[in-house]
Chains A and B, each alone.
Chain A
Amino acid sequence: MTKLPSDRIVGALCLLAAALIAIEARTFTVSFLTDPIGPKALPFLVAVLFAVAGGSLLARPQPEPSWPSRTIWLRGGMVVSSLALYASILPFLGFFVSTTLEVTVLALLFKGPPVKSVAAAVAYSGVLYLLFVYVFGLPLPVGSLFVGGN
């Protein structure tokens, strides 16, 4: 089975990105003259960098990286989606509960023993919450579920 080299895919994506950046940058117009080159110049330079790098990767791809097995992809995907989920439950459940859940999930994905993983998660979340809120004075969300209304 012949596969497309990863670098060629990246190269093609870079060329696409270069085109999109350049098209979008054309809309950065100012009605009055602030300076001779305006807000377009750096984005155009970025588009050129993407195009040069993309063209070069397309023309001369390097050896294929070692992509992980399907089970690893699955676990990696679970890590990333759990992070996104964490961000969405954080305002509702607050730092302590959300972080305990998330750290438990992560520890289990790293093949931690179940009971110890939960214990570690509770300990981390509790210690970090107390440390940051009371020692460093950093506001962490309590959770709208517990405060009610707000």
Chain B
Amino acid sequence: MEALAQLLGGFAVALQPLNLVVAFLGVLIGTVVGMLPGIGPINAIAVLIPITFASGMPPESALILLAGIYYGSQFGNSISTILLNVPGTASAVVTALDGHAMTKLGRAGPALAMSAIASFVGGTLSVFGLVLFAPALAGWAIRFGPAEYVALMIFAFSALSSLTGGSVPKALLATGMGLFLATVGIDPHSAVPRFTFGQLKLLDGMDFVVVTVGLFAVSEVLQVLEETEQGQAVVTPFGRVRIRMQELVSTAWTMIRGSISGFFIGVLPGAGGTIASFVAYATEQRLVDREGTFGKGDIRGVAAPEAANNAAATGAMIPMLTLGVPGSGTTAVLLGALIGLNITPGPLLIQHNPEVFWGLAASMYIGNAFLLLLNLPLIGIFVRVLTVPRWFLLPAVAALSFIAVYAVNQSPFDLILMAGFGLLGYFLRKLRIPLAPIILGLVLGPLVEKNLRRALALSGGDWRVLFSSPLAIGLWAVAALSLLLPVLLSRAATARGAIASTSEPD
């Protein structure tokens, strides 16, 4: 098998000492930020991007580090969910149902162990999917022309706007804001300055690290300021984190089913870990919950969503790596990082940068093994992070953000922009305007524009070129459908209880 040989080559990359160290650091940081409510993987990745650039590490090491934070956070987010009923990210919301119920029954130890093992199963099984499907998708996408790319990116926008569960007009507004920010600066095609208002410092455009750190990290600091009144979390002791063999066997199929469905849902733009975990939970409830114990502390109710959201995190990397079109805020930030490292994600990535793709795939096995180690024997140490007081933690987040933003251009002006975006992000959060589409719009804006202009240049200005191939028409159709879907679903599912739409995107 060719893929197997390639993967072995990937291990040669992933096992280099530097890459082992960064994989470990990545999953360690990921677990911590996933665990802490609010400080999500987007914050951590955005803050670390300029630091990885400055340290001059090779692109594959940078990606191994940043991706480690991403999938590591999926492990960590279940810890605060299970112990405190405070999901770190939206994709752990369902885990709270049975996970926290188990804590109340005094079974926090087995719940944490189950979540770590299910996350490991989801994380590793889905890497098989990545290795299998990414090259195939890349081979197919190589025929995409500019018109197909435009349609694909519109699909990514509309899917993210409709599937986050909030208001579609607000998500469209967020997409518009992102695209607007993308147009600020000198237009690379015609050298016309756009929306710079005579400010020389805006000619280079908005750096997505500055925008992301402001929108996510600084607004988070403001958000937490409001919550400091509520006092500090108290973690009850939970004894040993272990699980009986019998419980492990009884959840095996649940984990496998959750991994498979989670992986494929993760590949779809917009869907991501949140929907994957809901689907896996609902499926298991229908298939195995004969005694009606789901929601009352059933261990399978922890296994299903945790396997699914970790598998979805891997799945979400596929469109980002092989099409260059991310479907979520976090993968958009990863795409921005790759572009900054002079790696062009897209159908040719696997051929042109095999060390990046296969090195990443191999490192994900290693990273998941590290995560299992961190989350089983060492979890007691980790959980102490939850009791770190806010006044001590948040200023550290702020200080790291300053360094990251300053590192981009060595410019204090960027720090002022960051503060401005922080305030904006706070208002947007309050108004329930999602932040992830802004990042997606900002990162994909230049690509949409480039392809749109290229397609129309080829056709001599005839807009029908955008609908000229069956593939493009199909993509436009699913894009339109995804925007109508929430309207149709909300009519059907008002009785089924609302999906939490307030939490941060994964």
B410 touches A139 (CB 8 A): yes
Residue with the highest number of chain A CB atoms closer than 10 Å, among B391, B407, B416, B426: B391
Of B122-130, B179-187, B264-272, the one with at least 4 CB within 8 A of chain A: B179-187
Chain A 67-111 near chain B by CB (<8 Å), digits 1 or 0: 110001001100110011011101100000001001100111111
Which residues of the other chain, A, contact B182 by a CB distance below 8 angstroms?
A: 42
Which residues of the other chain, A, contact B391 by a CB distance below 8 angstroms?
A: 107-108, 110-113, 117
Q: Smallest distance from the beta carbon of A61 to chain B beta carbons, Å?
A: 10
Compute how far the CA of A24 lies from the CA of B192 in the bound complex, rounded to whole angstroms.
Answer: 12
Contacts A41-B449, A53-B170; is A110 near B179 (CB within 8 Å)?
no
B350 located at the interface, meaning its Cβ lies under 8 Å from any Cβ of chain A in the complex: no
Compute how far the CA of A128 lies from the CA of B397 in the bound complex, rounded to whole angstroms.
Answer: 12
Instruction: Specify the chain A residue showing the minimal Cβ separation from B432.
Output: A65
Q: Smallest distance from the beta carbon of B435 to chain A beta carbons, Å?
A: 15
A39 touches B180 (CB 8 A): no
Contacts A35-B457, A42-B448, A53-B173; is A138 near B51 (CB within 8 Å)?
yes
A36 located at the interface, meaning its Cβ lies under 8 Å from any Cβ of chain B in the complex: yes
B183 touches A43 (CB 8 A): yes
Compute how far the CA of A105 lies from the CA of B452 in the bound complex, rounded to whole angstroms.
Answer: 48
Contacts A35-B189, A65-B430, A103-B395; is A42 near B449 (CB within 8 Å)?
yes
B293 located at the interface, meaning its Cβ lies under 8 Å from any Cβ of chain A in the complex: no
Q: Smallest distance from the beta carbon of A117 to chain B beta carbons, Å?
A: 7
B172 touches A52 (CB 8 A): yes
Contacts A37-B461, A80-B419, A88-B412; is A53 near B176 (CB within 8 Å)?
yes
Which residues of the other chain, B, contact A84 by a CB distance below 8 angstroms?
A: 416, 419
Interface residues on A, range: 35 or more
A137 touches B190 (CB 8 A): no
Contacts A39-B189, A46-B179, A128-B400; is A120 near B395 (CB within 8 Å)?
yes
B175 located at the interface, meaning its Cβ lies under 8 Å from any Cβ of chain A in the complex: yes
Compute how far the CA of A111 lies from the CA of B456 in the bound complex, rounded to whole angstroms.
Answer: 57
Which residues of the other chain, B, contact A137 by a CB distance below 8 angstroms?
A: 54-56
A21 located at the interface, meaning its Cβ lies under 8 Å from any Cβ of chain B in the complex: yes
Instruction: Specify the chain A residue showing the minimal Cβ separation from B410.
Output: A139
B190 touches A57 (CB 8 A): no
Contacts A43-B194, A62-B167, A140-B406; is A80 near B222 (CB within 8 Å)?
yes
Q: Smallest distance from the beta carbon of A95 to chain B beta carbons, Å?
A: 8
Q: Smallest distance from the beta carbon of B99 to chain A beta carbons, Å?
A: 27
Residue with the highest number of chain A CB atoms closer than 10 Å, among B51, B396, B399, B449: B399
B107 located at the interface, meaning its Cβ lies under 8 Å from any Cβ of chain A in the complex: no
A24 touches B195 (CB 8 A): yes
Contact of B176 among A38, A49, A75 (CB under 8 A): A49
Known: A107-B391, A138-B407. 9 other contacts (CB 8 A): A28-B192, A36-B456, A37-B461, A46-B179, A50-B173, A53-B173, A103-B399, A107-B395, A112-B391
